[in-house]
Chains A and B, each alone.
Chain A
Amino acid sequence: MAESKKRVPMNHVIGFILSLVMTLVAAWAAIQSDLPVTWVIIGIMILALLQAGVQLFMFMHVTEASSGNGHVPWNMMFHGFALAGILVAGSLFVMSFGHDHGDHGDMGDMEQQEEQHSEDHSGH
């Protein structure tokens, strides 16, 4: 039987509390605070970056060069960024390109129409 180390993983506990706090602050900024919208958005962005940092450095193994396969997290992060790129750029492309009157109110009723007479919109 391996010797079990009864050690409190302090790093993880702190990381966990930090990430909870940041989440709550973000929620508070969006729901309760009177900050102007731009500031709320900027604030949430910054918190998101910090959050990612906490995850990467306090929970994941980016700092462990010795783990032999140290390239794996970077590899996965690259794919993650690529996917996020596809997600954001693709959505913008799809949701806003080629609609010559592309405000959302319009898309709503297009969706209902697509089953019946979509040809109406095919030319746009």
Chain B
Amino acid sequence: MHITDILVTGEPIIYGAMVSMALGGLAILFVLTYFKKWKWLWREWLTSVDHKKIGVMYILSALLMLFRGGVDAMMMRVQLAFPDLGFLNSQHYNEIFTTHGTIMIIFMAMPFLIGLMNIIVPLQIGARDFAFPYLNALSFWSFFFGMALFNISFVIGGSPDAGWTSYTPLSGAAMSPGPGQNFYLMGLQLSGIGTLATGINLMVTILKMRAPGMKLFHMPIFTWSTLVTCFIIVFAFPILTVALALLTIDRIFGAQFFTLTGEGLPMMWANLFWMWGHPEVYIVILPAFGIFSEVIATFAKKRLFGYNVMVWSMIVIALLSFLVWVHHFFTMGAGAFVNSVFSVSTMLIAVPTGVKIFNWLATLYKSKIEFTVPMLWSLAFIPSFILGGVTGVMLGMAAADYQFHNSYFLIAHFHYVLIAGTVFACFAGLVFWYPKMFGHKMNERLGRWAFWLFFFGFHVCFFPQYFLGLDGMPRRLFITNVAEWLPLNVISTVGAVGMALGFVVFVYNVYYSFRYSERETTGDSWNGNGRTLEWATTTPVPYYNFATVPYVDEIDPYVRMKEEGKTTFEEDEVKPIHMPSYTGQPFIFMALLGLASFGLIFEWMYLAVFGLIGGVVMMIRRSFDYDDGYYVSVEEIKETEKKARGL
């Protein structure tokens, strides 16, 4: 086999991407070597099992993916605003909308949220790490290699092009030969291991490792949202795993689960995909709800209104999320009765969601709002998300959905919920907890610029798309030079540019704040408004998190701790702390599985078998691993805490 057989050739844009990737890669290698950072990288990051560092790596990867998915988006918007330019051909357009959708959901939204959970949840419940720190590192590296695999597809082998939903029979071997679709299957499969493991890990952490006295109904609302999300992950992801495996067996080993021939059932793919897919959209929205609740309570300086109701509505949403999947394929023609059942269950979800909206409004009511940047994102979320929710209910009416389905109306709906919900929450959460992670805040002025650019850009981009949908413009179409559609498409592209600018300002702000922001001196970064335990730790957070874990028997325990002058460092109660050792195994293990997946993608079976055997060896290695971690001495803890607290 020759190298040109697997490299994608003949596309100027892709050549450009190759060159810039190669240059970027070289630059990174050079910087690491020049500043002698290889050891540091391995010792401090690649082998880390510290939940805070893993969280930071998740968030960095997610930001990188937001960039990659964003570039895809801008290319689509250019094509749609100037259809006569011939910027993209149909094949390239198909590949781009496929990678855009997959990356944004699987490799951007989920890891961003999981990254925030990684850092914040143990701090909120008074834990010193995850229940299974080794497994946590494993999760991250499985996600990382899955992401890497998916992302190289466009230069090696060709990208998948059957949509992020990968519907059969289009995505089967007969109609999509070649490695493209395999990249989708293996990339998702590999990173799915990590998601599932994180679900279990966080669930156990939250159920078993809370501070003494903390009952479930004393937990901060973000932790609650994480717990509920973990349940959805644990029950929904196996469905995806099985569906992906079946399709892989179809494509690589010639089975007939989803084919048109050989008694396959192509619609079964859609059925299984959405049994996972609908819960998946709640996996990315519930943590967002949790973040907004924290931010709103903090800057309204009040206890969250209706805490119990908030929790219960999340639980109800989680249950219902498993009962509505058919609304994604009403037009499959399952008949009026089936569609009616799922129409009703779909609309029911709007009830608990509406309850939450009213609770946020009630929290804000008559409060002294402090308009910080995270609060701006949260306040913007409420009306924007309502537009997405209301149009969701419209889509949920099966009869009407025969009109809306697969039009830009649908596109506008899910961008209103995913961007105004999930992406706004990621920004809000990152800015909110940034001082906890990096020891300084993000610059306020630049933060506002990023917010307003992104906010206006978002509405200008997606609001017109509702009307494009009503005018009949279908999704996933690359030639759109119909006179009635053109003006709205141009407006939409202008909005997209606004969002891109907002993102650029945001990233610049990371650099700017690193250089110029004041360093935090207390742990309670937002003018002493912190309500939950994460603000009780010092900044930067010591690697063992809590010198002493406080007794908690209420919601917002830190409010009272401050009144009573208590801290997470009660000097005479300090005991040695048991911590897990760093290890390179998760990295190596997942690199081997990544190699195996790469082999399967190109159907190079020797490579696949080699990687798999390597994986088994790593598992055996782990099974007989007797490293029980180490203890941090009392003297070291006292010294660290006194320095951090200026005692």
* A residues apposed to B, CB below 8 Å: 1-2, 4-6, 8-9, 12, 69, 72, 79-80, 83, 86-87, 90-91, 93-95, 97-100, 104-105, 107-108, 110-111, 114-115, 118-119, 121-122, 124
Contacts and interface: CB of A to CB of B under 8 A. Distances in A.
Given A4-B628, A87-B275, A108-B266, A122 B402 contact: yes
B631 interface: yes
Given A4-B628, A98-B336, A110-B332, A79 B270 contact: no
Contacts of B405: 114, 118
Contacts of A80: 235
Contact of B268 (A91, A105, A110): A91
11 contacts: A2-B628, A6-B626, A69-B207, A87-B275, A97-B338, A99-B334, A108-B266, A111-B266, A111-B332, A114-B331, A119-B402
B626 A104 contact: no
B266 A95 contact: no
B335 interface: yes
B271 A9 contact: no
Given A107-B266, A108-B169, 7 more contacts: A4-B627, A72-B207, A91-B268, A94-B338, A97-B337, A99-B333, A115-B406
A104 B338 contact: no
Contact of A83 (B322, B331, B624): B322
A93 B335 CA distance: 11
B338 A107 contact: no
Interface string B185-213: 00000000000000000000001100000
Given A97-B335, A118-B331, A1 B628 contact: yes
B373 interface: no
Interface string B611-638: 0000000000001101110110000000
B337 A95 contact: no
B333 A122 contact: yes
Contact of A95 (B271, B323, B406): B271
A119 B403 CA distance: 9
Interface stretch (B108-116, B257-265, B424-432, B479-487): B257-265
Nearest to A110: B333
A6 B271 CA distance: 48
Contacts, number: 98
B260 A108 contact: yes
B333 A124 contact: yes
A29 B130 CA distance: 42
A107 B267 contact: yes
Please provide the 8 A-B residue pairs with the shortest distance between their CB atoms, ordered closest to farther: A98-B335, A121-B333, A118-B331, A4-B626, A114-B331, A107-B267, A108-B260, A104-B265
B239 interface: yes
Interface string B285-299: 000000000000000
Contacts of A4: 626-628
Nearest to B208: A69
Interface of B: 167, 169, 207-208, 231, 235, 239, 260, 263-268, 270-272, 275, 322-323, 325-326, 329, 331-338, 402, 405-406, 474, 578, 623-624, 626-628, 630-631
Contacts of B267: 95, 104, 107-108, 110-111
A9 B624 CA distance: 9
Contacts of B239: 87
B334 A98 contact: yes
B63 to A, nearest CB: 34
Contacts of A72: 207
Given A90-B275, A91-B268, A98-B334, A111 B167 contact: yes
A104 B264 contact: yes
Nearest to A86: B322
Contacts of B323: 86
A84 to B, nearest CB: 10
A90 to B, nearest CB: 7
A5 B239 CA distance: 38
Contacts of A98: 333-338
Nearest to B204: A72
A2 B231 CA distance: 33
Nearest to B266: A108
B336 to A, nearest CB: 7
B265 A95 contact: yes
Nearest to A13: B623
Contacts of A93: 338
Contact of B235 (A12, A83, A105): A83
B132 to A, nearest CB: 15
A5 B628 CA distance: 10
B264 A107 contact: no
Given A99-B334, A108-B260, A118 B271 contact: no
A9 B622 CA distance: 12
Most buried by A among B263, B266, B406: B266
A4 B331 CA distance: 60
A86 B272 CA distance: 12
Contacts of B325: 90
Contacts of A118: 331, 333, 402, 405
